[in-house]
Structure 1
């Protein structure tokens, strides 16, 4: 499992660095690394300055004071420039990497109806929108922060280990009649101290990984519940369902707070340890260097330089201790993204058993069986054809597979087997019970999924024909039209869309359920009159629909079906 996780992480991480943008990314990466190494160089110079400056202070060398202050000012100025631009360029790299990764995830999520298959598979991929928008941003930010932090600390360790080794001198450990001489003893103490500290930090903080993962999930569920209320505000208001919704909010928010309390308690333990670990590291170098200072073999400047060097080495060796919380967050984010990738792969890997062929002038099903994702059969061995201009009505009891068959005919239901023949380059349009109206102008909503390219006269005629002439002056108004228009108005707008798109075949899934019967009959007659060559497949329960269709496909349950002509 861990090997697979590491493999997925590597695939997630390496994609950008082997992509078509790799040279830009690697160039920025090299610059940031160079700036970080440069800042480490100036830290070493400032560390040496401590020795000269405090020795001058101890010796009351006033003539050296102001030149040393000037030297420090120059070193500090150059260090600040490098540090600021290192962060700026890192953020620039972060934008480019996030943009590339987001585009790849969006392309994969929207390709081949993966976003739809994830829903019908009922996978545990919760809130894919959050994973693409927030988790990718966190992954890139945390990965770069830790990567450059690690590189800087390694450079710091390499530079200051030499300084600390040279400043430490030797330490004699008497054992009986012999004495062992330890060279660079302060460096070895720092190494042992930090290794022990890292191991203890992992024991104390490892629960944070799972808690961070759960916190992100609970926060997303809470936000999604509020979004659902906003999208269904009118229905909830009709039902007076505010109290029930508040209970739902409270339940989800309780999970957010409950998990956060656990996160707080675990973080408190880790902070106790990290702060205690850091405070002990401040006093230890003074204790270790004190014998040399009081023996007169080390000046004040050397003492302070040693303390500074020990602190830098200790910080570098303790990088994983101080960054443990950040590492835990990164692991939680990686798990969410890897899980999302796994579920997308599962949706992509579905073996398509329905053979699609472009031929002839009719839409035909040849020995087609329709199944559910779990393999259960809804319809068995369906065979019929729909010529251009023909009207087919699909009827049957609820749950027998009417809408699912319609989805298969529209080409979005992949679960089944058999052969579907469709005329070459034919266009199809699907009208669900609640039409989809994208955010934007009414003009865009009318032409969806095509680009808005019709003339004003054509748009005006289409709206007037379906009884929506009042909307003509508002064609370029940008708003949430699914909230503004009633369901009946939305269904009439969908019929106007059919007139504008003029598909070869249209599939209507109870697309007139919110309309009265005279209006329903009028709209069906309108399609027959305006688009006589268009094939039509409808799902509905009203008996009045029989009068506007030529044949009826009756689904009888348990996979059985039959096709009957409708007598006028």
Structure 2
């Protein structure tokens, strides 16, 4: 870690205080930004106070003894250099402490979110070992932090005690020589202490500065990640995206986001409103990747994709996203009219075979851990209910019925076909073919075939 770079980041943070204060007021609940802003402001006030004190008392001390003034400056410089030398390791240790604690918290959250899967695998012992290792790592680093803080404390305390006697030691010969009055002792001590505090701000605040610098380094890492050059800036091509009322792919060559593998080469297809296309192929052939490209999530490659607006298209993944909130909020997610009546909600739930769900969970306003309360099949049917309530013209389904039986799958697709929804599906079941007019077959070597469903069925039979 570059110490000079870290302190420059800290100085930039101080200079950016007005903007940070504005951001802090706009985002009051963001503790990271609030803490950074307040710490920056406190250090700035300390620096300004030190400058004013230095200017105010320098003249007084010089009038008493030039030797004392020079001694003070040298003492402060030596103390600062030694403090930085001893304490520079604290920046790395504080940075590692933030990282270790973050890793431990993430591990706890990860286990909590996947508790059922862990239980099925009977992996509790291994997860416990991993969590203990993360915890021990944080404790060991914290122990190292305490030791270095102790070493720094030993020096800074001794440094502060010795300076109390220094002005008297230097002024005493002047007094006994008859060149100064006794009151000069008090004046010299006061002026000396004030200037010493001003010049020793790094020594006195070094522990806080190291913790602050570690936080700045973490923020800089995030800032650098967010400023990663776009593909265009690095000479890499991207797929052109145009928003329109139809869905079409024109000479689309799709690559993985890291540009290391070509998934599809020169794909061209047009899906008219009310029609459907199912994408088939073996696992890893790029089926879901095509959907990501249509949704605009992946754009590495060349060609042109024309797609409907986000308000006219909805994506249903294999494992639906369950929001934190009530059953009502689950159904209305993401952009449906919040004023939809409960009778309409009951109707849609009946259409997706979840008629008894409100009574079972305690009504539409019940707030539960839906990802654990509902089975994957119920979550998929709930996602279809969202789709029906939002009345989107285009539905992008990535194995959205994989956990459902054939009857429930048929019921959901028939509901979509009845509303005239244009359907783009990915799936392995042959039962999906009947709900789509076209089949896009991928072979995994970037090759593809687009054909009517009847032609595909005939080829499969042969």
On whether the aligned pair clears a TM of 0.5, the verdict is yes
SS of the equivalent of 2:153 reads helix
Q: Report the 3-state secondary structure (helix = DSSP H, G, I; strand = E; otherwise coil) of the residue aligned with 1:162.
A: helix
- Asked whether 1:389 is paired with 2:274, we answer yes
Q: What's the offset of the Cα at 1:267?
A: 2.1
Tell me, what secondary structure is at the counterpart of 2:227? helix
Aligned-residue CA RMSD (Å): 2.8
* Residues 135 and 336 in structure 1, CA contact (< 8 A), matched pair in contact too: no
CA shift in 2, pair 1:297/1:143, >3 Å: same
* 1:490-531 CA-partner distances (Å, limit 9, x unpaired): 1111000010111111111111122122211221112112x1
Mapping of 1:140-151 within 5 angstroms? Answer: 140-151=37-48
Matches within 5 A, 1:16-415: 17=18, 96-100=22-26, 133=30, 135-166=32-63, 168=64, 183-291=65-173, 302-346=184-228, 353-359=238-244, 362-375=246-259, 376-415=261-300
8 Å Cα contact 1:142/1:326 also seen in 2:
no
Instruction: Using the TM superposition, give the Cα deviation of residue 260 of structure 1 relative to its aligned residue in structure 2, in angstroms.
Output: 2.2
* TM norm structure 1: 0.72
* TM-score when normalising by structure 2: 0.88
In the TM superposition, residue 396 of structure 1 has moved relative to its aligned partner by 1.3
Name which of 305, 312, 319 aligns with 1:427. Answer: 312
Q: Deviations over 1:459-510 (max 9, x none)?
A: 1211121122233362122343223222221111100001011111111111
User: Do residues 497 (structure 1) and 382 (structure 2) align?
Assistant: no
- Residues 257 and 298 of structure 2 are in contact (CA less than 8 Å); yes or no, is this contact kept in structure 1? no
- Aligned partner of 1:88 in structure 2 is none
The offset of 1:253, in angstroms, is 1.8
Question: Unpaired segments of 5 or more residues in structure 1?
Answer: 20-24, 26-92, 104-131, 169-182
- CA distance change for structure 1 residues 406 and 479 in 2, over 3 Å: closer, same or farther? same
Asked if structure 2 preserves the Cα contact closer than 8 Å seen for 1:488 and 1:514, the reply is yes
Shift of the 559–8 alpha-carbon distance from structure 1 to 2, 3 Å rule, reads farther
Shift of 1:139: 2.2
| Deviation (angstroms), 1:378 | 1.0
The SS at the match of 1:346 is coil
Q: Deviations over 1:308-333 (max 9, x none)?
A: 33222111111111112222222222
Q: How far apart in 2 are the matches of 1:403 and 1:211?
A: 43
Structure 1 residue matching 2:126: 3-state secondary structure: helix
CA distance in 1, matches of 2:352, 2:328: 15
Provide closer, same or farther for how the CA distance between residues 420 and 250 of structure 1 changes in structure 2, counting only shifts above 3 A.
same
Once the 2 structures are TM-superposed, how far is the Cα of residue 164 of structure 1 from its aligned partner?
A: 2.8
- Partner of 1:72 in structure 2? none
Question: What residue number does 2:460 align with?
Answer: none
Describe the SS at the equivalent of 2:299. Answer: coil
